[in-house]
């Protein structure tokens, strides 16, 4: 086993790589979360006006969930070509697709203008968003993981993860500002379009930065070795990345999927469903709920690198388990604090929930990257992460809203998140610690050669 002593790259180069990944993921998550917030606040009225308010919200969240359904397809396509062509090219494409779809939503006619065609078009654009995001995450975290200092991989790889709270912060901040300065009528008429159209400007900035970075040196090394093997006519044909992942890393894929359950479900309950629960059950205003998520997202952003650094010291698994157990234990206090109707208690509930979520989300980038061989790493990490999102994050706001509608209580929702936490604890508990694995010590044939010495476990290369 390599000890993880790969020489660190020049600090300036690594910081540029981190910045490119962070800004790109921030823009992508801004686009994705903006839809979720709008689904909770206005899409039920604009695209499903014939339904009663709660049913309209359910239908709105259903289109929200459709975006998650497309993420596995994005993971498969982007993972395949990312492992064949490189991380950088695919990251540029994902940014263009996501930004274009979001900008188009800002121009979309509503139900009042074109009838049932409006929700259909909205769903199609949401599918494009999901497809793009399914390919974004794996490439962004791998670009940093494969450039970074192995001794601090957890810290550096956690920075692209901060793109999620940064995107949430940006999306919620823009919506909060608009709802503060516009009347409900103006926001519902045209104000909601502004943050979607703003995505066009953000994409231009993101592309300029992302095009300036170099391809991962670890990938270049693995690609050169693959080309050398192709030149050898006696060598066996190289398998497709997807085939290799499912044959040699299926256990790692299952671990990654299980690890995502509590992380994904808790996040969307805390940040998306909360906008429904706080405004309907707790009687708080939209502005109050948005402000609470805004403040908590800022704390979440700061907490993620701290958790990532801790994973470099004590391991990925212990930090991940802290988050999974913590989120499960926090769910009943979370809803109890919101039920008080106090703004301070709402902030406390959401902030603690997101800090505990960060303990899972921060080490996830390094943890998943370290599970797979370089020439199948994009595919493996993306498949494990994005297939789980279909069962976890996709239906989470929908299930939570349906439980609230059926039982009129937060108890079933809390139990739902706790069940996910138990599943994640089991998955992480059976996983191997990956902190000392060196991504640069790559034998691309190792995944297929299970007879090699135990000291060079094929699953770690």
pLDDT in tens, 110-130: 888 888 888 888 888 988 988
For the chain, the average pLDDT equals: 81
Cα gap 243→372, rounded to integer Å: 13
Query: Of all residues in the chain, what percent carry a pLDDT higher than 90?
Result: 29
Give the pair of three-digit tokens for residue 78.
């982007």
Residues whose CB falls within 8 Å of the CB of residue 355, separated by 6 or more in sequence, listed in order: 299, 300, 303
Helix axes 411-430, 396-407, angle to 10 degrees: 140
Indicate the burial class of 216 (C-beta count within 10 angstroms; 0-12, 13-18, 19 or more).
Answer: buried
What pLDDT sits at residue 3?
41
Q: Average the pLDDT over each of 264-273, 298-307, 366-375 and give the range with the smallest value.
A: 366-375
Does 307 have pLDDT greater than 80? yes
Question: Which has the higher per-residue pLDDT, 226 or 37?
Answer: 37
Residue 236 — very low, low, confident or very high, per pLDDT cuts 50/70/90?
very low
pLDDT at 429: 95
Closest CA to 261 of 417, 142, 374: 417
Helices (H), 269-395: 274-280, 286-314, 316-339, 343-369, 377-391
pLDDT for 54:
64
Q: How wide is the angle at C-alpha 279 spanned by C-alphas 277 and 280, nearest 5°?
A: 65
Q: Which two three-digit tokens encode residue 294?
A: 């805004």
Percent of the chain clearing pLDDT 70 (strictly above): 83
Q: Of 331 and 188, which is predicted with more confidence?
A: 331
Closest residue by Cα to residue 34 from 129, 113, 115 = 129
pLDDT higher than 70, residue 169: yes
DSSP helix, strand, coil percent of the chain (3-state; round to 5): 80, 0, 20
pLDDT of 4 reads 43
pLDDT in tens, 142-152: 778 777 677 88
Residue 198 has pLDDT above 50, yes or no: yes
Question: Token pair for residue 108?
Answer: 């979309």
Does the predicted TM-score (pTM) go above 0.85?
no
Burial (CB count within 10 angstroms: exposed 0-12, middle 13-18, buried 19+), residue 107 = exposed
Q: What does the alpha-carbon distance between residue 297 and residue 159 come to, in Å, rounded to a whole number? A: 14
Summarised one tens digit per residue, pLDDT across range 332-355 is 999 999 999 999 999 999 999 999
Tokens at residue 55, please? Answer: 């049913």
Q: How many other C-beta atoms lie within 10 A of the C-beta of residue 183?
A: 10
Q: What is the mean pLDDT of residues 373-378?
A: 77
Angle, helix 316-339 to helix 286-314, in steps of 10 degrees: 160
CB 390 within 8 A of CB 357: no
Radius of gyration of the chain (CA): 22
Using CA atoms, how far apart are residues 105 and 101, in angstroms rounded to an integer? 6
Question: Is 440 within 8 Å of 142 (Cβ atoms)?
Answer: no
Which of 27-36, 49-58, 172-181, 241-250 bottoms out in mean pLDDT, i.e. has the lowest? 49-58
Q: Which residues of 307-339 are buried (b: 16+ CB within 10 A; e: fewer)?
A: bbbbbbeebbbbbbbbbbbbbbebbeebbebbb
* pLDDT(204) > 60: yes
pLDDT score recorded for residue 443: 42
pLDDT band at 216 (very low <50, low <70, confident <90, very high): low
Asked if 51 and 44 touch (Cβ cutoff 8 Å), the reply is: yes
Instruction: Please determine, for residue 108, whether its predicted confidence score (pLDDT) is greater than 70.
Output: yes
Q: How far apart are CA 424 and CA 60, in angstroms?
A: 28
| pLDDT of amino acid 448 | 38
How far apart, in whole angstroms, are the C-alpha atoms of residue 79 and residue 90?
Answer: 9
Structure tokens at 430: 């059976």
CA angle 392, 396, 400 (to 5 degrees): 150
Residue 234: what pLDDT?
43
Q: How far apart are CA 34 and CA 267, in angstroms?
A: 15
Helices (H), 47-116: 53-69, 71-85, 87-106, 111-114
Determine the pLDDT at residue 2.
Answer: 40
Tell me how far apart the alpha carbons of residues 405 and 209 are, in angstroms, rounded to a whole number: 45
The pLDDT of 10-31, averaged and rounded, is: 77
Q: Is the pLDDT of residue 294 over 50?
A: yes
pLDDT number for residue 458: 35
Q: Which of 277, 37, 24 is nearest to 172 (CA)?
A: 37
What pLDDT score was predicted for residue 194?
92
């Amino acid at each position: 086993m390599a000890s993880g002593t790969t020489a660190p790259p020049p600090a300036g180069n690594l910081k540029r790589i981190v910045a490119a990944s962070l800004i790109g993921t921030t823009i992508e998550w801004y686009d994705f979360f903006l839809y979720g917030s709008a689904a909770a606040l206005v899409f039920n009225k604009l695209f499903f006006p014939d339904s009663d308010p709660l049913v309209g919200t359910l239908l709105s969240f259903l289109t929200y969930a459709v975006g998650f359904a497309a993420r596995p397809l994005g993971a498969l396509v982007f993972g395949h070509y990312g492992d064949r062509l490189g991380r950088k090219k695919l990251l540029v494409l994902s940014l263009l697709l996501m930004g274009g779809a979001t900008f188009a939503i800002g121009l979309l006619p509503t139900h009042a203008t074109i009838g049932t065609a409006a929700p259909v078009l909205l769903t199609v654009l949401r599918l494009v968003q999901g497809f793009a995001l399914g390919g974004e995450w794996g490439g962004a975290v791998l670009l940093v993981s494969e450039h970074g200092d192995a001794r601090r991989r957890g810290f550096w790889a956690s920075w692209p993860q901060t793109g999620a709270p940064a995107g949430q912060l940006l999306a919620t901040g823009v919506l909060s500002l608009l709802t503060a300065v516009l009347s409900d009528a103006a926001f519902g008429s045209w104000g909601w379009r502004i943050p979607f159209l703003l995505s066009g400007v953000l994409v231009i900035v993101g592309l300029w930065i992302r095009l300036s970075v170099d391809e991962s040196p670890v990938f270049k090394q693995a690609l050169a070795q693959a080309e050398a093997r192709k030149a050898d006519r006696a060598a066996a044909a190289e398998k497709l990345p997807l085939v290799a992942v499912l044959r040699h890393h299926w256990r790692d894929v299952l671990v990654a999927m299980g690890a995502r359950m509590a992380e994904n479900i808790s996040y969307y309950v805390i940040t998306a469903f909360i906008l429904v629960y706080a405004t309907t059950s707790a009687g708080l205003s939209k502005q109050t709920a948005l402000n609470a998520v805004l403040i908590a997202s800022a704390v979440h952003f700061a907490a993620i690198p701290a958790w990532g650094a801790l994973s470099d010291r004590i391991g990925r698994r212990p930090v991940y388990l802290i988050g999974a157990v913590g989120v499960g234990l926090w769910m009943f206090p979370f809803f109890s604090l919101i039920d008080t109707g106090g703004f301070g208690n709402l902030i406390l509930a959401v902030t603690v929930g997101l800090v505990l979520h960060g303990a899972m989300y921060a080490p996830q980038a390094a943890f998943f990257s370290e599970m797979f061989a370089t020439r199948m790493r994009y595919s493996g990490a993306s498949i494990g992460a994005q297939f789980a999102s279909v069962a976890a994050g996709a239906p989470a706001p929908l299930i939570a809203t349906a439980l609230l509608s059926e039982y009129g209580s937060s108890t079933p929702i809390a139990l739902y998140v706790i069940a996910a936490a138990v599943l994640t604890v089991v998955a992480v508990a059976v996983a191997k610690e990956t902190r000392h694995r060196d991504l640069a010590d790559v034998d691309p044939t190792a995944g297929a050669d299970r007879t090699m010495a135990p000291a060079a476990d094929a699953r770690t290369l």
